[in-house]
Amino acid sequence: MELGLDVHKVGDHSVVDVKGEIDVYTAPKLREKLIELVSEGSHHVVVNLEGVDFLDSTGLGVLVGALKRVKAHDGSLSLVCTQDKILKIFKITGLTKVFPIHSSVDEAAGGAA
């Protein structure tokens, strides 16, 4: 089971396209990538979950941790997600109130192209 992580820039946002399953085995890889981005000075991060088949509490923990890091730099972390089964995870855990969740990368990056 592999987790695909591709990073590209949209305006001043760093967009992380995640592919695969985010679970207890793969979440540390996502955490490392997000820590690396923030430490390199990317404080506006978009995590694109459209290619994610599975997300669990460890993945949520990583996203919450990354949100705290970017906020410490007055930054932002927003998500792209339209899949009902993934949105359900955010709703049940109350995280729809914590993360801005958008339907496209362009929308999440504030329309910047």
Partner 1 sequence: MSIPAGTAYVGIIRLAVASLARTAGFDEERVDDIRIAVSEACTNAVLAHEEAGADQPIKVAWTEAADRVIVQVEDRVGARGADGVSPQDSQGFSTRMVMSVALLQEMADDLTIEPSESGGTTSRLTFSR
Q: Which parts of this chain interact with partner 1 (CB under 8 A)?
A: 1, 21, 23-25, 27-28, 54, 56-58, 60-62, 64-65, 85, 89, 92-95
Q: Which is nearer to partner 1, 41 or 94 (CB)?
A: 94
Question: Considering only CA atoms, which of 50, 74, 81, 79 is closest in space to residue 62?
Answer: 79
Question: 93 Cβ partners below 8 Å, 6+ apart?
Answer: 57, 60
Note the Cα 4 to chain centre separation in Å. 13
Beta bridge partners of 93: none
Q: Which is nearer to partner 1, 14 or 26 (CB)?
A: 26
For the bound state, the minimum distance from the C-beta of residue 60 to partner 1, rounded and expressed in Å, comes to 5
For the bound state, the minimum distance from the C-beta of residue 93 to partner 1, rounded and expressed in Å, comes to 4
The widest CA-to-CA distance across the chain, in whole angstroms, is 35
Element (H, E) at 21: strand 13-22
For the bound state, the minimum distance from the C-beta of residue 76 to partner 1, rounded and expressed in Å, comes to 20
Q: Which is nearer to partner 1, 92 or 113 (CB)?
A: 92
